[in-house]
Amino acid sequence: MHKDNLFAPLRPKTVLGIAAHPDDLDFGASGTMAWFAKQGAKVHYLIITDGSKGTDDLKVSPKELIKIRQTEQRAAVKAVGGKSVSFLNYPDSMLEVTMDLKRDIVRIIRSVKPDVVITMDPSMLYSANRGFINHPDHRAAGQAALDAVFPLARDHLSFPELLKDGYLPHKTKTVLLINFDQSNFYVDISETLTNKLSALKAHASQIPDMDEIFGFVKDISRRAGRKANFQFAESFVRIDVR
Ligand SMILES: [Zn+2]
């Protein structure tokens, strides 16, 4: 094993990606989603907001945009060989870490029963080097997802109303956090980079210059791959939950 890749490869049966917006998981993890699906995993996406603010087009209404982006996300899930996508439709750009949000995520975790959850690293506030502030929805989604994984989905006394509805407690074994600045785990996406590019292609409303994005994604995947002796890789902070 390469010294930068601190863990053995994962072979999950069920994977749940949890993110704020349509396209977040496809930028950060769709090569991995496709790789897991290719190995027989059931891959599910959970998108928390309605994506209704993601446009510079003054003519498109929020309602139209929600529809466009959900259609795009469904196509992207298909491109990675995913099984399902759920939308919670919280208003875009206003997401907060509330108990209602955590309950909504716990409900999905307890029904999908993932062994791996992939979400955004909520500790990523900004990157001065790269000159960006992480979207507050990304942080809120990641925080609520982590809280839902541990301890809320695991403990039957959390949200007794869910237990009453038949949602039994579930313990997720591994969390992969999308964090563009640091990582301890690399997934070989050499065979699924094309799926990733197709998934991104589905998000046409969000990507004005597809060739530029393809070049950028290939470049960062190649750079991540170099750290783990793969041609192309996606990188994560991996937590194996004890
Ligand atoms: Zn986003």
CATH number at residue 43: 3.40.50.10320
User: Which percentage of the chain shows pLDDT scores above 70?
Assistant: 99
Determine the pLDDT at residue 84: 98
Is residue 229 predicted with pLDDT exceeding 80? Answer: yes
Mean pLDDT across 87-98: 98
CA of 135 to the centre of ligand 1 (A): 7
Residue 81 one-letter amino acid: G
Is residue 113 predicted with pLDDT exceeding 80? Answer: yes
> For the sheet containing 84-90, what is the strand order?
84-90, 42-49, 14-19, 116-120, 174-178, 233-240, 185-188
Is residue 36 predicted with pLDDT exceeding 90? Answer: yes
For residue 126, being part of any structural domain is answered with: yes
For residue 6, being part of any structural domain is answered with: no
CA of 92 to the centre of ligand 1 (A): 9
Determine the pLDDT at residue 241: 94
Determine the pLDDT at residue 1: 58
Q: State which residues form the domain around 188.
A: 14-240
For residue 216, being part of any structural domain is answered with: yes
Q: Considering only 11-25, 26-40, 50-64, 71-85, which range has the smallest mean pLDDT?
A: 50-64
CA of 1 to the centre of ligand 1 (A): 33
CA of 115 to the centre of ligand 1 (A): 24
State how many domains the chain has: 1
DSSP state of 207: -
CA of 160 to the centre of ligand 1 (A): 32
Determine the pLDDT at residue 180: 82
**Residues that place a CB less than 5 A from ion ligand 1:** 21, 24
For residue 199, being part of any structural domain is answered with: yes
Mean pLDDT across 189-198: 98
Between 5 and 168, where is the model more confident? Answer: 168
Q: What pTM was computed for the model?
A: 0.96
For residue 203, being part of any structural domain is answered with: yes
CA of 48 to the centre of ligand 1 (A): 10
Residue 183: partners with Cβ closer than 8 Å, 6 or more residues away: 224, 227, 235, 236, 237
Determine the pLDDT at residue 56: 86
For residue 9, being part of any structural domain is answered with: no
For residue 5, being part of any structural domain is answered with: no
For residue 1, being part of any structural domain is answered with: no
CA of 141 to the centre of ligand 1 (A): 10
Mean pLDDT across 87-93: 97
